A and B are shown apart, each in its own frame.
Chain A
Amino acid sequence: MIARADLAIVGAGPAGLAAAIAARQVGVAAVVLDDNEQPGGQIYRQPPRGFSIDPATGIRDDQARGRRLLDDAARAGVSVRNGVAVWNAKPGALYCCQGDEAWTLQYETLILATGAYERPLPFPGWTLPGVFTSGGVQSLLKAQRIVAGKRVLLAGTGPLNLVVANQLADAGAQVLAVLELARPSVFDLLPMLAGRWELLAQGIGYVGRLAGRRIPIMRGWTIIEARGKEEVQSAVIAQVDDEWRPIPGSERVLEVDTVCLGFGLLPSTELSQLIGSEHRYAPELGGWIPVCDEYCETSMPGVFVAGDGAGIAGSLVALEEGRVAGLRAAMRLGRIDPKEFSAQAARSLARLRRLGRSRAVLDRISRPRPGLFERITPETVICRCEEVTASEVRKEIEDGATSLVELKARLRVGMGLCQGRICSSTLIELLAQGTGQRPEDVRPFSQRPPVKPIPVSALLALEEACHD
C-alpha cells in the first residue's frame, strides 16, 4: 500500500507534536507516526487508559504539560498514528509497519522528531536484573505507578537522577544516594541565570528536597560494579578524578536491590543517518548528530530534525524547534511565504537563542570523559544482544580491526535486535583507544534497514503490494 503526505512527522513527543500543531495552523495536515502506544513521547508519557493519577503524586507537571500539548494537538486537528514502526527512510519515502501491516508513505517534507535514549555505559554487572536506566525507572513510576525496587542507588550525571530520586522517595522507596560524577562550580551555573531562571529554580528545588530527606548527593562518585547472582544485590562505588577515572582505594560497597543509571542521553539518529543527511561528531555528546541550520533543516532540503534527536537539549527546546520546523516545512511546501514564516517563527527563534546558552553550559559539565571507560573489565559485556565481552572486542582490535563495520563482521556486535544502539558508542571509544584514531574518525556502523525489527510477514505484504 502506498500513502501520501505533504508533511510526514516521525515521533509524537514535544517536538513532533509542536511541529504538527504549527503546520496545521498554517493549513498543512501532517501525518504523525509514533512507535509508542500513546502520543507524548518519554517526557510527556501519559498514564494508560483505565488509570487516573492523582495530581498530588508529584509527577503531575510533565503529564499536565503533555496533556495540554495533546489537547492543543486535538484542537488543531492533528491526528497521531501510534504503534507504528518506521523501519526505513529514503528521500521521499518512509517505510512503515504496524503488526502485520506494512506500507510506504511518500512525503514532500519530513520532520524527524525521534528523541533520545539513555547513554549506555558498560561496567561489570550492568546486565544484571535490577540494573535499569533512570529514565526507564521513571517511566515505570510515572505511567504505571510501579516502583522498580526498595533499596535504590542512582548513578550518573545530570538533573534527571535528582528528579527520579525524589520521585522514588515520594513513592516510598529507600534511596541510598545519588552518585553524581560532575562537580560543577557555582561559576559553571552562573550563565544559566541568563535564560533559564525556571530551570535553575527547579534544580535548586530538587537538591533541597533531597537534602530535606537526608538523601546524599555524592559528587565525584560513581558506580563501578554491580554484584549479584540472579539479580543485583550490591553495588561497588568509587570516587572519581576530574577525568572521571575511578580512584583506587576509594571503593565502598552498598547493599541495594535496584540501580538506576542516568549518564545523559544520546540522540536517536538512525533515520536521519539512513536517509543520507549529513552528520557531525559531537564530542560533548560522544556521538553523531545531524547537521541542521537554524531552522532545523538538514543537508537535504525539506528534511528536518527537531528536538533531542538533533542533539540533547530537553523539552523546552524541543517544543520551539518543533514549531520552527513545522512552519519551515509549510514554507517549503509553499503554504506560507518567507515573510510569514519569519513573523510566525520569530518568538520561537528568539527563545531558542536564549535557551542555547544554558545548553552549552550543561554540555560542558556533563561531557562524557574517558575515565568512565576504565570501569570496563575484560569480562564486561559490551554488546548486550550478542553477549560480546570487552576482551573479545580488544582482541579483534589488536588483530587489526579499525572500524565498527569490521568488528561487526568478526564478532556480530551491533547485529542484535537493538541494532547497535546500546554498543556502538562504547565500541567507538574502544576503537579510538586501541587504534589511536580520534572517535570522530572511527568509521561507524552503516545504518541499514530495517532499523527496527519487523515481522517477515510485513515485508512479504509490502513485496506483494509492489507487484499488484
Chain B
Amino acid sequence: MAELRLVNGVRRGKTFDIILDGQALLAYEGETVAAVILASGRRLLRLTRKRGEPRSVFCNIGVCYECRMVIDGSPNVRACQTRASPGMVVNTQHGLGEDDIA
C-alpha cells in the first residue's frame, strides 16, 4: 500500500495548498488539518513545553488537545477539529506557542 490517502471508493472535491511550516502541502476540500498532515506521511504536530517531546493526533475527536498547532497565527488550535482552507498557514507548535506567533 503506497498511499495513506485512499483513492478507491471515494471521490474528493477541489484541491488546494495549505502552508505547513513554510512549505506548500496538498489538501482536499473537507479535510481537517490533521488529516492533511497525516496523509502526507508526517505525524509531528507539536513539541511539548517541558520536555520537547513530539506529539501527534491521539483521539482525533477533539477531546485530548494533543494535536494543537499554530493555525493562521492562533496557537493551541486543534488540528483534528479544524477544516483546512486554501492558503491556511499552519505551523508546528513549540510549547504553548507564544514564540510561534510572528
Q: A residues bordering B, Cβ < 8 Å?
A: 35-37, 42, 47-54, 56-57, 117-118, 120, 127-133, 135-137, 139-140, 144-150, 171-174, 230-231, 268, 384-385, 387, 416-418, 421-422, 453
From the candidates A50, A132, A139, name the one contacting B30 in the complex (CB within 8 A).
A50
Contact B43 A133 (CB under 8 A): no
12 CB contacts below 8 A, A to B, read A49-B29, A51-B12, A53-B9, A54-B10, A127-B53, A133-B58, A135-B61, A144-B39, A146-B5, A147-B4, A171-B1, A174-B1
The reply to whether A127 and B55 form a contact with Cβ atoms under 8 Å apart is: yes
Are A140 and B56 in contact, with the CB atoms below 8 A? no
Are A145's CB and B1's CB within 8 A? no
- The answer on a CB contact under 8 Å between B54 and A147 is no
The chain A residue sitting closest to B48, CB to CB, is A387
Residues from chain B with Cβ under 8 Å of A120 in the complex: 64
Which residues does chain A contribute within 8 Å of B62, judged by CB atoms?
35-36
**Beta-carbon contact of A129 and B56 below 8 Å:** yes
B19 on the interface (CB 8 Å rule)? no
**In contact, A128 and B35 (Cβ under 8 angstroms):** no
* A332–chain B nearest beta-carbon distance, Å: 31
Contact A117 B65 (CB under 8 A): no
Q: How far is the CA of A418 from the CA of B61 in the complex (A)?
A: 12
Enumerate chain B residues within 8 angstroms of A50, measured Cβ to Cβ.
12-14, 28-30
**Closest chain A CB from B32 CB (angstroms):** 7
**Chain A hits for B76, CB < 8 A:** 417, 453
Min C-beta distance of B65 to chain A, whole Å: 4
Complex CA gap A147/B3 in Å reads 8
Within 8 A of A (CB), among B46-102: 48-51, 53-66, 68, 76, 80-81, 83
Residue of A51, A56, A117 near B11 (CB, 8 A) is A51
Q: Is the CB of B17 closer than 8 A to any CB of chain A?
A: no
**A230 closest partner in B (C-beta):** B54
Interface residues, chain B, CB within 8 Å of chain A? 1, 4-6, 8-14, 28-32, 34-35, 38-39, 43-45, 48-51, 53-66, 68, 76, 80-81, 83
Known contacts A35-B62, A385-B65, A387-B49; is-contact A231 B9 (Cβ 8 Å): no
Q: Which of A35, A51, A129, A147 has the most CB of B within 10 A?
A: A129
Nearest Cβ distance between residue B36 and chain A, in whole angstroms?
9
Residues on the A chain within 8 Å of B32, using CB: 144
Give min CB distance, A361 to chain B, whole Å. Answer: 27
A140 to B35 CA separation, bound complex (whole angstroms): 7
Known contacts A50-B30, A129-B55; is-contact A147 B6 (Cβ 8 Å): yes
- Assess A416 versus B43: contact at CB under 8 Å? Given A145-B9, A230-B54: no
Q: Which residue of B lies closest to A421 (CB)?
A: B63
Give the residue name and chain of the A residue nearest to B63 (CB).
A117
B35's partner among A36, A144, A172 (CB-CB below 8 A) is: A144
Distance in Å: Cβ of B62 to nearest Cβ of chain A: 6
List 14 additional contacts besides A51-B10, A139-B60; criterion CB under 8 Å.
Answer: A35-B62, A50-B12, A50-B29, A53-B9, A132-B59, A136-B61, A140-B57, A146-B35, A171-B1, A268-B63, A384-B66, A417-B68, A421-B64, A453-B65
Kindly provide the distance from the CB of B93 to the nearest chain A CB, expressed in whole angstroms. Answer: 12
CA distance A149 to B41 in the complex (A): 8
Q: For B81, list chain A residues within 8 Å (CB).
A: 36-37
Smallest CB separation, A225 vs chain B (Å): 16
> Once the chains are docked, how many angstroms separate the CA of A144 from the CA of B31?
6
Please state if A48 and B59 are interface contacts (CB–CB under 8 Å): no
Determine the distance from Cα of A409 to Cα of B48 in the docked complex, in whole angstroms: 21
State how many angstroms separate the Cβ of B68 from the closest Cβ of chain A: 7
A50-B30, A140-B35, A453-B76 given as contacts; is B60 within 8 A of A57 (CB)? Answer: no
Contact B50 A387 (CB under 8 A): yes
CB distance from B59 to the nearest CB of A (A): 5
Cα separation A172 to B4 with both chains bound (whole Å) = 9
Q: State the Cβ distance, B56 to closest chain A Cβ, in Å.
A: 3
Q: How far is the CB of B49 from chain A (nearest CB, A)?
A: 7
Is the beta-carbon distance between A48 and B6 smaller than 8 angstroms?
A: no
- Expressed in whole angstroms, the minimum distance between the Cβ of A298 and any Cβ of chain B is 22
**CB nearest to B62 among chain A residues:** A35
Per the bound structure, the CA–CA distance linking A147 and B8 in Å amounts to 12
Q: How far is the CB of B30 from chain A (nearest CB, A)?
A: 3
Q: How far is the CA of A144 from the CA of B13 in the complex (A)?
A: 12
Known: A51-B30, A147-B1. A417 touches B60 (CB 8 A): no
**Given that A231-B54, A418-B65 are known contacts, is A135 also in contact with B9, CB under 8 Å in the complex?**
no
